[in-house]
Structure 1
Amino acid sequence: DRAGDADAEDCFGFPHVPYPVQLQFMRKAYQTLDQGGVAILESPTGTGKTLSLLCPALSWLRRREQALMADALAGPQGQGDIEDWAAEHRRGMARTSALALWRRRKDRRESRRQRLRRAAVVTDRGTIAQREKSRRLDHIRSPAPTGDSEFSLEAPPPLVLPEDPFDEEDERAAAEEAAYEGKLQIVFCSRTHSQLAQVLQEIKRIPAAAVPEQLAVVTLGARANLCVNDGVRARAQSGASHLTDLCKKATEKSKEVGGCALKKSAHIMADACLTELMDMEAMAGRGRAAVGGGCPYYGARQAAREADVLLVPYASLVNSDTRRKLGIRTEGNVLIFDEAHNLLEAISDSNSVTVTVLQARAAVDDLDLYAGRYEARLTPANAMRLRQLRQLCTLLYRYLAGLEKSNAQTIGAFLVGIGADHFDLPGLSSFLETTELPRKVRGFCDGARVR
């Protein structure tokens, strides 16, 4: 039987009268949110667990915001002569600050809507003009680098054009960052992007009165899912990592001649993400639009700090580097893992890598080719790190090539076994990250093979 005697408030905005098992599930979820801590909730198959998680979570967020606003609007509660006027003054200042922050956020929401309307109307002078200018100037090249010097570790910084008129959007975003640093968010995680799309559909079913006012939901994902630059995607022949390399190279030129026009319009996409409920497919379609489009990947990243709810795949949350790059905060936020039985596998996958003997051999060959071209031009420190990396890859290749059967080892035993226990692995890792050597080696070797 359904819980017919449950009133609307007890049902947490559930779109229909819930069954007792659903109501019990939602009450337990709400209680956990209200008291803090960790809960592992389970419900029989077919009982709508995702919706039963979303309803109490969004209801709790709405009531929390209402309580904070009511407290901010409440006047001072004096206690006569014994009132500590200094403490009351501090409380008054805190209320004023909270109210001002709420008003600024509300004003920004309206500003986003106005910017979107302007982007849709000003077709001659806005986004289209930017992209056409980028296409017209795409053939111009910076005179500083010559040949394949762009792949050198000592390559000079790219030539940058005068400030773009849309740079004010970057300044606006930076100015707003601080205001949202303490914003509480619900980070909802699921295993796949298709499951996150289903989560968004469930959110749309919840009555507006049961969720925070002007609810902002942003879906985050990798470039492989959100990049809509056809030129970059066409050249990405070897998977997601190659696409990431090409995207970084294109967006490094976002203020240069021939830079990625979609990246330049990412702020428009950020506004769209915060005013519309869009899954990844809708974001990609909006990003490709001639009017009001922009890069969904960078747009979602810009929008993330202002969102009430972030929809995130497991892989993006459990990996610290990815989490940092996407701007996902965990401290002080609510984390919800749907289908949590997949979580341990996701953590294991994010901290594991498979290297075949063919890949190790290819790494040795590519580093040899790169070193033959650039080693003489490198600083002594970079040349030393490159030699160490070549030696490490050679040791790994020899070990894998001579392996007759599978065996499990600790990391320490493995490093001793291949003769690499004396290497400064943290230093090499930092070297790879700061110099972007993998991207440069890939770019140089791909070009060399074509030639």
Structure 2
Amino acid sequence: MNTLFDILMKGNIGIIESPTGTGKTLSLLCGSLTWLNSVSTLPEDYVRDGTKENKQTQTSLADFPAWLLDITDEDVALSTIKYDIYITCRRKTGESAFPTGTTEKAVAETKRTKIATAKGIVREGLCSSAERNPFGDGKGGRTDRCHQSIVSSVFTLSPQIYYCSRTHSQLSQVFQEFLHSAWAEDVQCSCIGGRRSFCIHPTVKRLPTDAQMSDECLFLQRNRSRGKEGCLFHNREREESIRDEVLTTNLEIEDLVQYAEKEKGCPYYASRKAIPYLKLVLLPYNLILNKKSREALGIDLKNQVVIFDEAHNLINAIGDLFSPTVTLSMLSSSHSQIDAYYQRYSDRLSSESHSFIIHLQTILKALSHLLTTKPSNFGMVNIFTVNRFIQHLHLESINLFDILHFITSKRIVQKLNGFVDTLGEDGKPPVSHFPAVTDFILALTNDNEDARVVVSYSKDNGPFLRFLLLNPSVYFKEIVDECRSVIITGGTLQPFSEFSSQLFPHLSQDRIVSLSLPHILSPDHVGAFYVTHTATRQEMRFDFSNRENPSLLSDLASKLGILCRTVPRGLVVFFPSFSMLQTTLRFLHSTGKFSSLNELKPIFSEEREKDVFAAYSSYLKDHPSKGALLFAVIGGKLSEGINFSDDLGRCVAIVGMPYPNKTDVVLQERMKYLDQQKAGLGQDYYSNLCIKAVNQAIGRAFRHKEDWASVVFLDYRYCQQSIRSRLTRWIDNRGLVCNNDDVLLKQLQAFYQRFNLGV
């Protein structure tokens, strides 16, 4: 926490690894909010300093009444009083944020009355003599102007913390930690998300994809603007009322949605309106990483703090987010819609617009033709640099930047959406793919060396084009440059150099602060065992060439039997892929070994489209002494989002190593690009993809300081120093090599005897 505070005070970049169960989330919240509280004071030199960087602030404060400036002389933190200023302004203007009929006593009994000193100063300033009262008689436009001036200026002066994670379920856990902290009394915090989490419209919320939800929502808004039936929940007054509830009460997403349903207002737009007034904003990665999303939400990152939690996959997340894919059907649909629009309105278009639309049609036609007719010298998957791709399509003479400026300045996406609405049947608009196609064209404006274009003629998925971003710092740099500080954190981040080289290559190393914290687990609560050989002294190596080796699979079954007889409660076995899991299951069934293992511990197996965890955990709860065996896949749902704390996972076994397919042309292109930056980076990247996934799976079993479990590595390669050095340090430091079954059994028995639990 002290390191985090120091990073934020100095405006540095932090890479902090803190194992699960060490109080990482609470430390991040308390450390960052402590810093925020310390800098939220508005000192005299900040208000009156005439330096260039503070000139804008000085101007915005010039119209403030003297009593408000006097507060700064009292060293009262803005973070303490700003909400009271806002609420008092609204109440004074007759726009109470509290429910109708709420008494002054009830208001006084809210949690915010605990800030008595600041409240007294504010209320004295707002409600004393006419000389100090900026509201006059409370009537007319002067009140509104004062309200807006004070609210907007005061709120923008205080920094904000944007806390990001990958999923809403992870953000929900962060929110619960926040509610149990001392800061929940004084800090305005809310979760911000997409329509999938917030929409309450009965039709929109049932749509299968986010894109369809967005299209339908905007369609209903356009309908309403034309006097037709629209969304009855999209109402400014009700949304502002819900916004005020967000600001006065820290609500979880589910609670906010319920409140909005009761008020018949849109929680999606209400939560967006609350963002400028929040101190702590919780939101998914993509809403911060994507500039369009930030602009849509009104998020300005200048001098703010952004924390990326669960960041082990952040680099890949950036790459995926900015690697748009377009299919032949998407291109054909967009081309048809542009043609129809042009034919309908061509006589109204300026000569400039005529020219740009013709260029746009040329681009769409060229892209469609490439996917329609496979050149004889093309393979099934083809890789181009950006320049070569544009040259191959003979589009060098078209300025893509001008095309994109035309699309933006003339609001072509919005106009085309409105036009497409008129083409729908039974009042249902056809989905417009033009925004996705525009994203692909925008991606083609990246530097030639930062990306590639993939042209695929897949028989399974149909032909498609994919822009492949190779340099994630292209998009991350803007965030880093705008923010005061960026914090990268997670339970398994090693090696840190990967983040420095791929996300912060433009920064000097002295601005990047790295910290790896040890686990708080007692040393005797963790067992780590490296199993190197089969009973016949064959190396235990589950690589691609050995994946169906019957002698190796038979020995694996024997070692699983040892684990089932020794490990109490829950045993989780991770395989490197679904393919390997299925191969093992087929072998176990064909040899009769499945039934033998199933008698020792009932077997539950992960499936792609089926949730097996509920059945596994339920059985363990009902049959603790019997226990259960769960087969899972590294990289699957169970290795990423499920916690195997306590009896759910008293042992985690890792079969083989989950290296990605090295023949994949996209992976090859990424590795080649990294090797061009520095020799060996490509192979490091390849190895890290594997080991990070392993470390994530291991961490599923250790969720708090009293937890205990063993980790069994069932592959010879884990003993190699190049591999062990990349494993989570608190595991490798406890590792013991077991080169035969007797040693493995003896070590396991010794470990579990400490906890006085029978199998």
d(CA) in 2 for partners of 1:249, 1:381: 28
In structure 1, the residue matched to 2:396 is 421
RMSD (CA atoms): 3.5
CA contact (8 A) 2:87 2:96 kept: no
User: Take 1:378 and 1:224, find their aligned partners in 2: how far apart are those partners?
Assistant: 38
Matches within 5 A, 1:140-151: none
1:223 matches 2:198: no
* 1:36 lines up with 2:11 in the alignment: yes
Task: Identify if the C-alpha distance between structure 1 residues 263 and 350 changes in structure 2 by more than 3 Å, giving closer, same or farther.
Answer: farther
Deviates most, 377-386 or 106-115: 106-115
**1:375 shift after superposition:** 2.6
Give matches, 1:4-403, under 5 Å.
26-65=1-40, 68=41, 96=70, 98=72, 102=78, 103=81, 105-110=83-88, 115-118=96-99, 176-207=151-182, 211=183, 214-230=186-202, 232-233=204-205, 239-251=209-221, 257=227, 260-261=231-232, 262-264=234-236, 265-289=238-262, 291=263, 293-403=264-374
- Per the alignment, do residues 326 and 375 of structure 1 end up closer, same or farther by CA in structure 2, a change over 3 Å counting? same
Listed one character per residue, the Cα deviations across residues 63-121 of structure 1 (whole Å, up to 9, x for unaligned) are 444xx37x67xxxxxxxxxxxxxxxxx9x999636369945542314566883433588
**Residues 235-280 of structure 1: per-residue CA shift (max 9 Å, x gap):** xx67333432443354467787566543322211211111122233
Bigger Cα displacement from structure 2, 174-183 vs 381-390: 174-183
- Return closer, same or farther for 1:418/1:120 CA change in 2, 3 Å cut-off: farther
Of 361-370 and 326-335, deviating more is: 361-370
Deviations 1:307-345 (A, max 9, x none): 110112111111112112212222212221111222212
TM-score for the superposition, normalised by structure 1: 0.68
How many angstroms apart in 1 are the aligned matches of 2:362 and 2:386? 18
1:279 counterpart letter in structure 2:
E
Cα drift, residue 387 of structure 1: 2.0
Cα–Cα, structure 1 residues 46 and 55, in superposed 2: closer, same or farther, change >3 Å? same
Shift of 1:397: 0.6
Structure 1 residues 449, 62: CA separation in 2 closer, same or farther (over 3 Å shift)? closer
Give the letter aligned to residue 194 of structure 2. Answer: A
SS in 1 for 2:281: strand
Letter in 1 for 2:85: D
CA distance in 1: counterparts of 2:220 and 2:383, whole angstroms = 41
Relative CO higher for 1 or 2, CA cutoff 8 Å, sep ≥ 6?
1
Flag the structure with larger Rg.
2
Return 5+ residue gaps in structure 1 as ranges.
Answer: 1-25, 73-89, 122-164
Q: Could you tell me whether the CA contact under 8 Å between 2:195 and 2:205 is conserved in 1?
A: no
Is the CA contact (8 Å cut-off) linking 2:337 and 2:420 kept in structure 1?
yes
Inter-CA distance 34–393: structure 2 relative to 1 (3 Å threshold):
same
Partner Cα distance (1:174, 1:296) in 2: 26
Q: Secondary structure at the match of 1:230?
A: coil
- Label 1:411 to 1:238 Cα distance change in 2 as closer, same or farther (>3 A): farther
User: Alpha carbons of 1:350 and 1:178: their partners in 2 closer, same or farther (altered >3 Å)?
Assistant: farther
Q: Which has the higher helix share?
A: 1
The 2-side partners of 1:393 and 1:233 are apart by: 32
Q: How many residues align?
A: 353
In 2, the alpha carbon distance for the partners of 1:109 and 1:94 equals: 15
User: Which amino acid in structure 1 is aligned with residue 358 of structure 2?
Assistant: R
Indicate conservation of the 8 Å contact 2:86/2:151, yes or no.
no
For 2:385 and 2:326, how far apart are their aligned partners in 1? 16
Q: What CA distance in whole angstroms lies between the structure 2 residues aligned with 1:417 and 1:120?
A: 70
d(CA) in 2 for partners of 1:172 and 1:242?
A: 38
Range with greater deviation from structure 2 (419-428 or 309-318)? 419-428
Question: Which string of whole-angstrom CA distances, capped at 9 and with x for unpartnered residues, describes residues 380-413 of structure 1?
Answer: 3333322221221010011122344222222222
- Identity across aligned pairs (percent)? 28
Shift of 1:169: 8.2
SS at match of 2:96: helix
